[in-house]
Structure 1
Amino acid sequence: MHFVVTGGGTGGHIYPALAIARGLLEKYPGATVHYLGSERGLEKDIVPRAGLEFTALPLAGLQRRITLHNLRAGALALAAVGRVRRLLKVRRPAAVIGTGGYVCGPVVLAAASLGIPTLIHEQNAFPGLTNRWLARLVDTVALTFPEAAPYFKGRAKKVVTGLPVRPELLRVDREKCRQNLGLLPGQLLLLSFGGSQGARSINRAMLEMCRQLAGRSDICLLHVTGPAQYEWFRQELQAAGINEDKFANINIKPYLHNMPAVLGAADLVICRAGAATIAEITVLGLPSILIPYPHAAGNHQVHNARALVRAGAAIMISDAELTGQLLQQKAGELLENRPLMASMARSAAGLGRPRALEEILSAVAELVQRGGL
């Protein structure tokens, strides 16, 4: 049995596709997976390292205005459809699965035109343009957020599956994680980060948090600055008289190589509102203060954050309004109100979908059976 998986441009599209690809290989022993991506996306480096067969397509994303670039991008997309159709006719996959990004358009369109079963997965509460368009052609749309469903028109079956998270997150032992970090019984861990590269606005606001929490025995703060801003952040702390050796409850890291082990010990998280991050904190049942990235396509991080706020699982602060004083006020209100944090934790856990990958694979299996394979 053979499958084609596609999705690219950013890690938000690539890593769910890789999780689905690995899941298919486990579910169907002896199966093969062919990953189709863009020559320009991160997938061209990430996917081959994951050991999957990879084909790069010459494509370009569309700009949100009429330009000569868009004419060229359209020509590349049309050429890619023809190339993918020829490939699919030879390989005859049991299903084609897309996770978003402009590479999905030609690949899924080619599959649908050949009658091959198709599924797309949408990570965000506000769907991307490519997935909204493809929903009119595919058989199934798998959703992370139920709030995304009204944006999809057409005949496709819509099923809320959630977003696959790292397997190690599903195996975390909270008490062991806390012991490994040296946390005392009853001590709260506040974890803050702005993504793998950090976020300057969050870093600036966290300086005030560090000043307010330095020396507290009941609260431990672990802030991840991102590699590029680490030295600047430490210098700012030292200028404020905060030394990590003196204040043991303040811990600053440029990057966390084992994020699941730290998330597993956290009591409150301050972070952006990317779909993968939200999937992880809800699977672990963590209350959060969400600061959506202001330049996300379609402002989708705001929509993601609002889904958690409506459920009582999070507080949202816009990046434009973010200050150290406001963040300290909101975080302080939660840290001093453990019953409220416990309520938010329950709400977050209620949104978590630890079986997201299994749900997606079940939807693929339904397509395979329907296709008579």
Structure 2
Amino acid sequence: MKIILSGGGTGGHIYPALALIKRMKQLDPSTEVLYIGTEKGLESKIVRNAGISFKSIEIQGFKRSLSISNFKTIQLFITSIQKSKKLIKEFQPDVVIGTGGYVCAPVIYAASKLTIPTIIHEQNSVAGVTNKFLARYVTKIAVCFEEAKNEFSNYSEKVNYTGNPRAQEVVGAKPSPILEDYQLIANQPTVLIFGGSRGAKILNKAFLEALSRLKNREYQVLFATGEIHYESLKKQAEPFLKNSSSISVVPYIENMPAVFANVELVVSRSGATTLAELTALGLPSILVPSPYVTNDHQTRNAESLTKRGAAKMIAESQLNGESLIESIDELMLNKELRKNMADAAKKLGLPEAADDLIQLIKEITD
């Protein structure tokens, strides 16, 4: 099997593609992969570091307002289609898959015009502009939320509910003493708080406001600030942390799935990859959606879980030290409530998501 993948802009578009590649190579080591992205995007570093063959095209997204740069975008789109066709003809893939971000548009469009089977993978409950544009051209559409099916109502015959391949990658995470790496006690009730790789200012602010009370709780707290905020927050938190062994503040968590498997509760944003991991592991969560993302899709993602009892949501405008600690206490001090939420999350999890997507690939390439 030869496969081209394209996705970029955010880790949420890149990591599902890498999880799919990993699973395909596990099942068939002879699988050949080419990843097409941009040099400016995160994918250029992440994909190359993963040892995957990478080629780049030049493309940019449209501005929402009238702008002269949109004329350049159109010109780049046309030339990137031509380059994509050249790369596709050279590689001769069996299938081409787009996992989101504007870089997918010329790649998937070019593949469809070359009559090569194509799939777009939508991770969020609200479809991105690129995937909406590509829906009419692709062979199949894979979604991770039931709500996303409505986003492609004009192409319902193409839509398949596969889930996020990242879910299958984390499901093997097991209990371990990893919390000791963060100066906490293994096998103790623990809540993990983080705002993504870059951190979230509002979560950092609420954490500082709650810190004087958090240090006296019956549970431990592992808090990831985001690297750019670490030094400033650590300095502000230092007076409260001197005599506390139950709170650990770190800039970044490298092996998040391993930590997920050893905590009782997660407080985080509601990006698609994070939710795929939480539901695959059946982990209770308090979600604080970012209101700054396209179409407010994180709120829709979070609502998909909360209406099924799989998570609790706090709007960013309502988040402060008081609401944070009240919400954490509600779950950390009530084991039965936590279990009910965990069970509901588990029901939404798709632990064989990568295999389901691979099956879809086989259907359109056999």
User: Could you state the TM-score of these two structures normalised by the residue count of structure 1?
Assistant: 0.92
Q: Is the 8 A contact 1:21 1:33 kept in 2?
A: yes
Rounded Cα–Cα distance in structure 2 between residues aligned with 1:182 and 1:237 = 17
CA offset digits 1:271-317 (Å, max 9, x no partner): 00011111111111111110011211111111110111011011111
Q: Aligned match of 2:272 in 268, 272, 275?
A: 275
AA paired with 1:243? L
Q: Aligned match of 2:321 in 319, 324, 329?
A: 324
The 3-state SS of whatever aligns with 1:242 is helix
Equivalent residue number for residue 294 of structure 2: 297
My pick for the range that moved more, 11-20 or 150-159, is: 150-159
CA offset digits 1:144-170 (Å, max 9, x no partner): 111101111326521111112276632
Deviation at 1:141, TM superposition (A): 0.8
Equivalent residue number for residue 9 of structure 1: 9
AA paired with 2:96? V
Rounded Cα–Cα distance in structure 2 between residues aligned with 1:12 and 1:175 = 26
Equivalent residue number for residue 243 of structure 1: 241
Q: 1:36-185 to 2 correspondence within 5 Å?
A: 36-152=36-152, 153-154=154-155, 157-165=158-166, 169-174=170-175, 183=185
Alignment length (residue pairs): 364
AA paired with 1:289? I
Q: Is the 8 A contact 2:167 2:349 kept in 1?
A: no
Equivalent residue number for residue 22 of structure 2: 22
Q: Is the 8 A contact 1:3 1:94 kept in 2?
A: yes
Equivalent residue number for residue 332 of structure 2: 335
Cα RMSD of the aligned pairs, angstroms, is 2.0
Q: Is the 8 A contact 2:269 2:289 kept in 1?
A: yes
The 3-state SS of whatever aligns with 2:155 is coil
Rounded Cα–Cα distance in structure 2 between residues aligned with 1:342 and 1:77 = 49
Rounded Cα–Cα distance in structure 2 between residues aligned with 1:300 and 1:182 = 34
The 3-state SS of whatever aligns with 2:138 is coil
The 3-state SS of whatever aligns with 2:241 is coil
Deviation at 1:100, TM superposition (A): 0.7
Q: Is the 8 A contact 1:119 1:138 kept in 2?
A: yes
Equivalent residue number for residue 188 of structure 1: 189
Distance 1:214 1:29, change over 3 A: closer
Q: Is the 8 A contact 1:39 1:59 kept in 2?
A: no
Which ranges of structure 1 fall in alignment gaps of 5 or more residues? none
Deviation at 1:123, TM superposition (A): 0.7
Equivalent residue number for residue 204 of structure 1: 205
CA offset digits 1:2-29 (Å, max 9, x no partner): 2211111221111212222333333344
Rounded Cα–Cα distance in structure 2 between residues aligned with 1:3 and 1:189 = 41
Which ranges of structure 2 fall in alignment gaps of 5 or more residues? none
Rounded Cα–Cα distance in structure 2 between residues aligned with 1:88 and 1:223 = 44
The 3-state SS of whatever aligns with 2:59 is coil
Deviation at 1:172, TM superposition (A): 2.3
Q: Is the 8 A contact 1:139 1:155 kept in 2?
A: no
Deviation at 1:176, TM superposition (A): 5.0
Q: Is the 8 A contact 1:210 1:221 kept in 2?
A: no
Deviation at 1:184, TM superposition (A): 6.8
Deviation at 1:173, TM superposition (A): 2.2
Distance 1:182 1:11, change over 3 A: closer
Alignment partner of 1:367 is 2:364: yes
CA offset digits 1:75-121 (Å, max 9, x no partner): 11111112222333343311111101111111111111121111111
Rounded Cα–Cα distance in structure 1 between residues aligned with 2:312 and 2:234 = 27
Tell me which stretches of 4 or more aligned residues in structure 1 moved more than 6 Å: 178-181
Q: Is the 8 A contact 1:208 1:328 kept in 2?
A: no
Q: Is the 8 A contact 1:273 1:290 kept in 2?
A: yes
AA paired with 2:245? A
User: Could you state the TM-score of these two structures normalised by the residue count of structure 2?
Assistant: 0.93
Alignment partner of 1:356 is 2:357: no
Distance 1:243 1:121, change over 3 A: same
Rounded Cα–Cα distance in structure 1 between residues aligned with 2:280 and 2:7 = 23
Distance 1:228 1:138, change over 3 A: same
Q: Is the 8 A contact 1:193 1:271 kept in 2?
A: yes
